[in-house]
Amino acid sequence: MMFPSIFYAMAENDNAILGAIPSSLFTGDQSFYGFATMHDHIHTRLTNALSATSTNPTYASYCYDKLTNLSLNHQDSRIVLNRGLTVDSNTTSGMGVRCKNDSSLFEAVDSKQMVRNLCASQKYHKMDLFLTFTCNQKKHFGVKKIRNWIDSGDWKQHFPRYIEYTIDGQKEINTAIEQSAASLLLRNWMETKILFIKYLLHSKSSCLKSVSNIFARDEYQKDAGNLPHIHAMISIDWKELNQEQKSFVEDLVSASVCDIVPTKNVASLIEKGIMKKKHEYDEIVELSTNILAHFCSPRCLRRVSDGDGPDAFVCRKPNNLKLSPDNTKHCFLKLPMDSSVKFCLLYL
């Protein structure tokens, strides 16, 4: 009754809505009357791409609410609101209350204690690179077919009597298509990024060569339609690399768009099959210019004086062209440290 677009038929003489979860399962997280548990029901419905239950965002929220209610059984709701919920494989619902004193580096990282743990771990597993991976939905091979199909409007040919709807009706249908595709885009991106992280860590052809440790987490932002981006810290076993490999890894860090793919490497990249033709170099430079260009926003500005004028804020992003003593080679600069030596020793 709540989702007539999904459950639209009723069994004759039984007064039961076909496909709807039996209400008896809402009272506990165990299996009743031969039915699977709520967790199994929801897992199947949200991951089955052939069912409308996997593409309806309202139904996904509804399922999350049901699992949350089951997780609240015998729990003080004030504790749940204070600590939040996290993935818990030990419960049948799949969710549990986050422990207040949990200091592990697993599941959600959302506290100052976790950051302190990461800093302390540098003594044992020193990280060499901090990388951020974002998903370009129109270009990334894992999701571009879905994104481009939606943007092309080809789906309108398969929607009955689409052109007969009013402008407002067509806008509503367009919004519904966007929302229904969100779960597919997210699922494909999640599977792709796991494969990518495993490739960086285990593959002998990884561009980072000898990787010993990777710590990666997803970050979600409030902007609608954006997939989560990955923040990753990576440790490289430099002892296993020869000088040529060390130079290769160092050259991966580029502060200039033209240095992302040096022209001297185009021929070897074509020979290896990474690039198909020389013209791809121009496409990569153009794409990099559009994606990597920095445009100031309230998120990157830092206040330096009172007032709201343009001189009251400066951009946090450093200007590599001005900071580098020599733009023709790799340079390392010391970070500005305002803390005294005495304070640093006490802190350590």
Mean pLDDT of 89-116: 61
Tell whether the model's pLDDT for residue 116 goes beyond 80: no
Tell whether the model's pLDDT for residue 36 goes beyond 70: yes
Tell whether the model's pLDDT for residue 230 goes beyond 70: yes
Averaged pLDDT score across all residues of the chain: 80
Distance CA 294, CA 297 (A): 9
- Is the CB of residue 165 less than 8 Å from the CB of residue 171? no
Identify the pLDDT of residue 198.
Answer: 92
HEC string for 186-219:
HHHHHHHHHHHHHHHHHCCCCCCCCEEEEEEEEE
User: Bridge partners of 95?
Assistant: 87
Tokens for 48, please give them: 């089955």
pLDDT grade, residue 168 (50/70/90)? very high
User: Bridge partners of 217?
Assistant: 231
Tell whether the model's pLDDT for residue 105 goes beyond 70: no
Mean pLDDT of 95-100: 66
Most confident region among 3-17, 117-131, 187-201, 204-218 by mean pLDDT? 187-201
Identify the pLDDT of residue 1.
Answer: 63
Alpha helices in 72-143 (DSSP H): 77-83, 112-121
Distance CA 179, CA 57 (A): 6
Tokens for 217, please give them: 């987490």
Mean pLDDT of 182-205: 88
User: Bridge partners of 236?
Assistant: 211
